[in-house]
Amino acid sequence: MASDMQRLVGTSEDDEEGMEMDVKEEDDDEEEEEEEEEEEENRGEHRNASGIAEIDGGNGIASIDGDNRFQQYQHFQDQVGTPGGGTRRCRPLEEKERTKLRERRRRAITARILAGLRRHGNYNLRVRADINDVIAALAREAGWVVLPDGTTFPSRSQGQKLAGGNSTVVTSSSSHVLPQQTPSASLGGVASGYRSSVEYNACQMKGVFMPAPSPYDLSTSSRSQTSMVGDGEEPRDHDPLIGGSMHNVEAKQIVNMAARLPERDMAGTPYVPVYVMLPLGVINMKCELVDPDGLLKQLNVLKSVNVDGVMVDCWWGIVEAHAPQEYYWNGYRRLFQMVRELKFKLQVVMSFHECGGNFGDDVCVPLPHWVAEIGRSNPDIFFTDRAGRHNPECLSWGIDKERVLRGRTALEVYFDFMRSFRVEFDDYFAEGFISTIEVGLGPCGELRYPSCPVKHGWRYPGIGEFQCYDQYMSKSIRKAAEARGHSIWARGPDNAGTYNSQPQETGFFCDGGDYDGFYGRFFLSWYSQVLVDHGNRVLSLAKLAFEGSQVSAKLSGIYWWYKTASHAAELTAGYYNPCNRDGYAAIMAMLKRNKVSLNIACADLHTLNQHDVFTEAYADPEGLVWQVLNAGWDVGLPVAGENALPCLDRVSYNKVLDNAKPINDPDGRHFSSFTYLRLSPLLMEQQNFIEFERFVKRMHGEAVLDLQV
């Protein structure tokens, strides 16, 4: 067992010993380098002293009179010490020993930090990693860019706050992630300051992560053209740059770009309700409401701008944490009461997944303890990749009908949880306070396989891996292969690459690859059908538990490699959507059959930004969103949306509006609602909230005064 755990987390006792040896070696190396530096500095001082003497003797400073020459020489002697050279820099032996001791202690702490980070699986650190690797890993996860030479900068150009004043420096930025987004415009010529939304791109993203793009480094001349907008001062004119990269711009850089972009007039357009997602940790692990006073203040601010309601995760790992069918709803009841008193509507997510393993998860909510205990003895209840690594983010769909959870199947566990919620909050349902129940169907609550787990080393734009190697999924594909008459097909592809492969590097996903062969089509049909069947089973039970209420399901926006033939990242996630097949039609038909609505993420992303950042990823979020929207609308589904990244600027909001209310749609189709992710102190900053209020008005079909036409 110990060896298995060591294999999973990527470290071992030998690794730790090696790391400690490395610490000692580096310690010795540093001491030697220290001594060599001292000697070199002393030699340099001698050379400098000699040089001064030679210059003086050779009339190199003949223009200087004798007194000045003497003062200069005396000043130099004060700097270098005695003619013997370097005596001032010689440190006592005791001081050197104390320095060595401090260094050893520091390196011991570093070794423990490295071991902890590696053991818990969230960081891919090499065995002989040093403190620089740790800092770089932390910086990258926080959304910063760290180059190999150590140069570090924010993931995108951003507004800089001026200390002690209300004027703002607005730097250039192109629009997206993480790619992104142009800074918000200064309204009324004054802003309290803002930060680009990309700086926080990794903070609250519940879906699949994409790393932020490199910033646009402005030259000295560019910076000198940055606009300073203060009280009573008219903004200076600058040449606009719309939707492009700034790498090749030699003319003036753009400031206040968002204010100069043309916008649609949304006055008189259909009313689209706007909800705001509450923080992930609004309810703690004891099922208690966290900081109710602070939350109440923020909710009152949202109410003041006519936000329609809020959405909250109802965590399985909190409510049924300790024992099967023992549910604790106290914290949620108090929260719901607060929301109802403000006359908000409420959307609730039945979250049957863990929180804490993906980028942007700022709290940790594991699956229930009793489920984890079962998983220790039977890890095949979790999704498993080809290498045998188990992912406890959610339960494998292979156990939907297997009685492995203390005598219950996974479907029965989900249904009992939903039924308990419905009974507990019957009064809220009766009065229509709870408007929608979104049912979690997989990782991050989305109907997809956990094909891109950060804890197993995935990074954007990797294609991910198929998750079908637990014993229950293996049994399913074996039955399907035998029914087809080809028992040899009872396996996953052996040439599909690894998490961070690219399609052209694999025999399965490359152009003309096995994905489009006889075996490939069989496997992908089975793999995607398991996804559809799981969604159908859980949603049919949800409709039974929440009879008379609106139920919804969320699809993930897997848009990288969308412009390739195979659509590899979608295939590993369970969406059988290559260029010669509509992979979302079967999903929409299933949702229509269960009379549930569709929620799609990444309504805020721009295709152009993906090309600026990862040109090799062939990403197309706009094309993907348009395909999914039309697939849902074509079968008559209500379609809602949410942003994949924090939206804080006008460009991002305009993109959401374009998707929410398509221009010139002959059928007048539009989002049934939009959920903003998520409530945070950053959103509450003055300039950011002004933009948000403006966005809400336009979603409601109201006129705004500062429309740019």
CA distance 330 to 107: 46
CA distance 54 to 85: 17
Of the candidates 169, 202, 168, 196, the residue with the CA atom closest to the CA atom of residue 182: 196
Q: What are phi and psi of 310, to 5 degrees?
A: -130, 160
Q: What single letter denotes the amino acid at residue 621?
A: P
CA distances from 297 to 338, 618, 681 (A): 11, 43, 11
Q: What are phi and psi of 286, to 5 degrees?
A: -90, 10
CA distance 48 to 41: 10
What is the greatest pairwise CA distance in the chain?
A: 104
Three-state SS annotation for 468-500: CCCHHHHHHHHHHHHHHCCHHHCCCCCCCCCCC
CA distance 514 to 531: 21
CA distance 200 to 144: 9
Residue with tokens 């308990």: 420
- The number of beta carbons lying within 10 Å of the beta carbon of residue 270 is 14
Of the candidates 171, 94, 106, 102, the residue with the CA atom closest to the CA atom of residue 134: 106
β partners of residue 383: 391
Contact yes or no for 339/346 (Cβ under 8 A): yes
SS3 assignment, position 435: strand
> What's the angle, vertex CA 7, arms to CA 5 and CA 12, rounded to 5?
85
Tell me if residue 642 is catalytic.
Answer: yes
Of the candidates 679, 619, 658, the residue with the CA atom closest to the CA atom of residue 213: 619
Measured in whole angstroms, how far is the alpha carbon of residue 270 from the centre of its chain? 31
Given the residues 320, 354, 446, 570, select the one marked as catalytic.
446
Of the candidates 498, 497, 492, 519, the residue with the CA atom closest to the CA atom of residue 507: 497
Length in residues, the chain: 709
Of the candidates 646, 689, 680, the residue with the CA atom closest to the CA atom of residue 143: 646
Contact yes or no for 688/196 (Cβ under 8 A): no
Residue with tokens 């006359």: 343
Catalytic site positions: 446, 642
